[in-house]
Amino acid sequence: MDDMSGYDVPLSQMTHPHCLNVALLMMIDLIPRDALSVVLLGCVCFVGITSPRSTTAAKPNVVMVLTDDQAPWAFAEAVRSGQFDDVPIPSTPNMDRLAAEGAVFRNFFCTTPVCSPARATLMTGRYASELGIKDFIPQPGHKLYDPDSPVYLDPDNTVTFAEVLQQQGYKTGLVGKWHLGDWTASGDSGKHPTQHGFDSFMGLTGGGTTPNNPELELNGKVQQFEGLTTDILTDHAIDFVEQNADQPFFLCLSTRAPHGRWLPVAPEDWQPYEEMDPTIPQYPNLDNNWVRKKMKEYLASTSGVDRNLGRLLQTLDDQNLTFNTVVIFTSDHGFNMGHHGIWHKGNGIWATKQKPPGELHQGTRVISNKYRPNLYDHSLRVPAIVRWPGVVQPSTVIEATASHLDWFPTLCAIAGEGSSAKDLPGRDLSPLLRGKTREDWDQTQYFEYDMINYAVASLRGYRTPKYKLIRDRHNEGCDEFYDLTSDPDETVNLIRDPSSQAVIKKLDAKLRKMEEKLAGPR
């Protein structure tokens, strides 16, 4: 079997159930004719055993793994590709496997780099500002929680893609984090995920919990669980797959990790980093020892996600569901670990020894002695992988710009109900996933973040592949402009550079047009 150049299926995939039939057909060429009839009889029996499990409809199943706070560089394939050179290579063999079997997006973004608004956009295909969700939603018990002014995703004024899939006959389940309204304090069932298109829910009632021995809701009751939170959530995700294997299903496994606190983790998740002296970003007066320590903890938490991703993929294999299941892997937003002198996301926290590191930060006025509100690419960019057997060619790399706005129309298209997304700003990614290049594909992105928790900022950003303009409508002297071609790491703010003013003027007009559009009629 040395010469297999005439076949499209890589040898690395021949161990997967849906590829074994192809492997047998390849072997036929090497078998003498007088033995062929015996082999063919065996092949007929084997095909019957390994064919994809039949469902009540031709629609593919969909599994979305949505991680929390995962940077695009916390994914080994992306680091090995050369996209990031200031971080260590993490141990993510199952994310790497998914990428080898599907498509990886190099330029995938959230629209608001904080949990709740990012998730609101992902679920509805609309900008979070349209939904009144500006910053993360504090849960009951949080010092910022205000029971008199609850913020949540209103089921009467929104439609999620889970609702569309549910209406198309999918059994829908959410396991893990929702963070779009807490129903426990007020007893308001309208905030519950089952009011937003999910037939079942098991997971976090608020935005966070501990990495071990968490309190989670199961069967409508909040109870204490023993063990690692990532493992527990995956256990229930696997249960959902096994219980619904004979019908079309949509599962969203929304992990808590790698959101902090990162430790404890399983010994096998810590092992790759135990002796590591990790590469970290270079920044003046950065607290290097602290960043190195936290980098290892963060990546170990990410490896816990990866290990459990492997368990979920193995379940699909074991249930003969792999060939008929679209697997999407992404995160709510990105993360900084020393980048730009901060750690965290859009509400970045100073990681320098001096806090803040002076009156100006990269030419931008500092507004807080702890927080650095930002729209850096490290906060906005997310990992995005799609495995769609029979549709997406293995090891596909997509450079086109896309965002969380695009999941809604894409999932609607997968379910055969594209009309539900016709008035939304996102785009169906199916043509890109099928390998079709689109010369008219819009590569620009609009971003927003109204930080109201801990510090105050009103950030609006407009990005092209070459430039990025950021306006802070609340804080004077905090506007930014970066030439992404010469400065992809966004280290030199050119907002006052005379030679950049013409480009800034053009981008500013586009930015204002988007703001006016989202503000609606006055």
CATH number at residue 460: 3.30.1120
Backbone φ, ψ for residue 230 (5° rounding) = -60, -40
pTM: 0.89
Name the pLDDT band for 186 (thresholds 50, 70, 90).
confident
pLDDT in tens, 287-310: 999 999 999 999 999 999 999 999
Task: Kindly give, in sequence order, each residue whose CB lies less than 8 Å from that of residue 481, ignoring residues fewer than 6 positions away.
Answer: 467, 468, 469, 470, 493, 494, 495, 497, 500, 503, 504, 507
Say if residue 17 is in the same domain as residue 106: no
Helical (H) or strand (E) element with 468: strand 467-472
Single residue among 433, 468, 486 that ends a domain in this structure: 433
Return the residue matching tokens 């009103």. 458
Backbone φ, ψ for residue 410 (5° rounding) = -70, -45
Single residue among 368, 401, 433 that ends a domain in this structure: 433
Three-state secondary structure call for residue 198? coil
Say if residue 22 is in the same domain as residue 104: no
- Tokens describing residue 192: 């519950």
What is the C-alpha to C-alpha distance for residues 109 and 38, in angstroms, rounded to an integer? 53
Say if residue 365 is in the same domain as residue 495: no
Return the residue matching tokens 């901060």. 342
Q: E strands within 354-456?
A: 360-361, 364-365, 371-373, 384-387, 396-398, 402-403, 445-451
> Residue 177 falls within a domain, yes or no?
yes
Say if residue 41 is in the same domain as residue 187: no
Three-state secondary structure call for residue 218? strand
Question: Which of the residue ranges 185-189, 204-208, 425-429 would you say has the lowest mean pLDDT?
Answer: 185-189
Name the pLDDT band for 10 (thresholds 50, 70, 90).
very low
For residue 66, give the nearest of 12, 123, 151 by alpha carbon. 123
> Residue 1 falls within a domain, yes or no?
no
Q: Are 77 and 99 in contact (CB under 8 A)?
A: yes
Say if residue 22 is in the same domain as residue 77: no
Provide the domain limits for residue 20.
11-50
Q: Is the pLDDT of residue 399 over 90?
A: yes
> Residue 408 falls within a domain, yes or no?
yes
Q: Would the CA dihedral through 436, 441, 444, 447 be positive or negative?
A: negative
> Residue 137 falls within a domain, yes or no?
yes
Say if residue 327 is in the same domain as residue 214: yes
For residue 361, give the nearest of 344, 343, 336, 340 by alpha carbon. 340
Say if residue 398 is in the same domain as residue 491: no
> Residue 442 falls within a domain, yes or no?
no
Number of independent structural domains in the chain: 3
- Tokens describing residue 513: 């047009």
Single residue among 418, 433, 448 that ends a domain in this structure: 433
> Residue 3 falls within a domain, yes or no?
no
Q: What angle do CA 402, 404, 410 make, to 5 degrees?
A: 80
pLDDT at 26: 37
Question: Which of the residue ranges 226-240, 407-421, 499-513 would you say has the lowest mean pLDDT?
Answer: 407-421
Say if residue 408 is in the same domain as residue 386: yes
Say if residue 71 is in the same domain as residue 34: no
pLDDT at 484: 98
Name the pLDDT band for 407 (thresholds 50, 70, 90).
very high
> Residue 275 falls within a domain, yes or no?
yes
Say if residue 501 is in the same domain as residue 360: no
One-letter amino acid of 275: E
Q: What are 467's strand-pairing partners?
A: 483
Residue 510 CB neighbour total at 10 angstroms: 14
pLDDT in tens, 26-65: 333 444 444 434 333 343 333 333 445 544 347 999 999 9
pLDDT in tens, 450-506: 999 999 999 999 999 999 999 999 999 999 999 999 999 999 999 999 999 999 999
pLDDT at 30: 41
User: What is the DSSP secondary-structure string of 74-111?
Assistant: SSHHHHHTTS--SSPPP--HHHHHHHHHSEEESSEE-S
Say if residue 180 is in the same domain as residue 301: yes
pLDDT in tens, 144-172: 988 888 899 999 999 999 999 999 999 99
Mean pLDDT, the chain, as a whole number? 89
- Tokens describing residue 147: 């029971």
Say if residue 322 is in the same domain as residue 391: yes
> Residue 488 falls within a domain, yes or no?
yes
CATH number reported for the structural domain that contains residue 367 in this entry: 3.40.720.10
125: alpha, beta or left? (left if phi > 0; alpha if psi -120 to 50): left
Distances (CA, A) of 151 to 120, 174, 343: 12, 20, 26
Q: Is the pLDDT of residue 244 over 80?
A: yes
What is the C-alpha to C-alpha distance for residues 402 and 117, in angstroms, rounded to an integer? 17
